[in-house]
Structure 1
Amino acid sequence: MYEKKPFTIDDQVQQLKDRGLFISESDNIQHYLSHISYYRLAGYWWPMQEDKIAHKFKSNAKFSDVLALYNFDRQLRILLFDVIEKLEISLRTKLIYHLSHEFDPWWFQNFNIFQNASDLVKTLAVLEGEIDRSKDIFIKEHKKKHKDDGRFPPSWKSLEQTSFGALSKLYGNLKNDVVSKDIIAKEFGTVNHTYLPSWLQSIAQIRNYCAHHSRLWNRNLPGSPKLLSNPPHSWIQNVPKPHEFQFLYIHLCCMKYLLNVVQPENSFTLQLRMLLDKYPNVDPNALGLKEKWEEEALWK
């Protein structure tokens, strides 16, 4: 039975000191622990502990480094959220345009073009809730004008209400003989439907971490994007091994590849480089970054 009692902030500080974390008066740790919970920060000091059972810190462990890692990770999430926003808007646009022309404006309710009916039911249930909660004028006006139409609003209205995760599920669930599925993949530079669904799935997961302010630094990521053997656009020579896909780097590469299509003149490389330079205590290996990554054709 779990019997630990809640600690006061002073108790938390004393415990960290007793375990060997160096805390200076200028660190203002009581202030930070009153705004950032102990266990949120614990993800950043965990690698600084030499004894994971007794939670004893290494001799050079400092709270200032913990806070620097926390701030680096926060700014990394902001950077990636901005990148993913551009990819999300592009994916939404392509789904609406190509599928509406191949089928009709209500293609996303057409069970005949999807592989898994139960997955589509779940996606549509989420979409229905988002439409019902929407305050957008064009949704309200549509409901008022077409109240006798039992269908969802057309895709160019409905899909503006939904998330990147739902969009990626819709795309991945399309049957492989749907022409638009290959067209969209080709327009993104991923050749055909074989590769893009796994890229979108991993990016959607990272977007969720960003949206919920979860740690990205030193996290084992679940997604495993399928990589093209000969991509049509600039890619990387030093490709991570499959067991390294748990690190962020390969997912950053997939984002950069898609972003180079969506926004060719982007500053992703510069912004990432500046962020790493701003926080020199951040170990690039915790992100899976390869040596001289910024010299790869993809990142130039």
Structure 2
Amino acid sequence: MFTIPETRFHFGGDEYIFAEISKEMSAESNFKALAITKELRSRKIPGVLDICPANASYLVRFNPDIISAYDLLDYLKEIDIIKSKPAELNLSIRIVEIPIWYDDPVTQEYSRRFKDRHQDPSLTNFEFVMKKNGFRDKEAFIEVHTTMPYLISMMGFNPGTAWEFQLGLPREKMIQTPKYLSPRTDTPKQAVGLGGAFTAIYPVSGPGSYQLIGMSAAPVFHKEQQLKDFKQSLFLARPGDLWKHCSVTESEYQRISQEVEQGTYQFKIKELDFSPEEYFRKGRSYILELMEGF
């Protein structure tokens, strides 16, 4: 049995309630935030305008002329009690395969371009992350980053940015790294970055401070919605989904990029029901069960 943290509620002006499940990120806190916000959306409470889950919290924006803060708080406390039971945290999610060209020339060039903002200007970002995590072999590092899937714990920053938190590994074995000392003024679209215990794929070019370790061959934000997997949304990520990284060669990267350009590329996706209760009981073996045939 695992313990689900108790939620603390805070008012933010006249239109917001902030629910803090825990001070730091944990899979337990995130599963609770995802389950609560899913239930809250399904209730379609009049006056609720926005519902934003985060890593270990969530934010609700409401119209105080339609629903009072204290009436909404009563709803939230009721849902919180229900979702404090492990059996009530189940989610319908997808596993999505993300093709990545690791240690590629583009992110190597950005490492050199912004080395004056980095902790160790003598190393590329990829080399720095390997060193920080005790890896000497490139393939061993890639294996750890691709073997177990990552939970999409929240979205934000830029449109389509998703924070990924690895499942199936104890925290001390997760790849972790500090961010840049001072953020870059530019980051290439589809660059794969690491900051803390999180992986993130930059949906568009722009500033950033995560260590760059590769390039995604396919977009995670597609405003043209030309690709089949973006017909329902501009964004690939959905909070609660699992992303499974897959290492690709330069030629495979170029082939996928061409398919994206032609509008024919499709992500490998598997839909499934996820039980946090089973995950915390079985751990890695449960994740491997879910990925059978994927």
TM-score over 0.5 (shorter chain): no
* Structure (1/2) with the larger helix percentage: 1
- The answer to which structure, 1 or 2, has the higher relative contact order (CA under 8 A, 6+ apart) is 2
Bigger strand share: 2
TM-score normalised per structure 2: 0.31
Normalized against structure 1, the TM-score is what?
0.30
Q: Which protein shows a greater Rg? A: 1
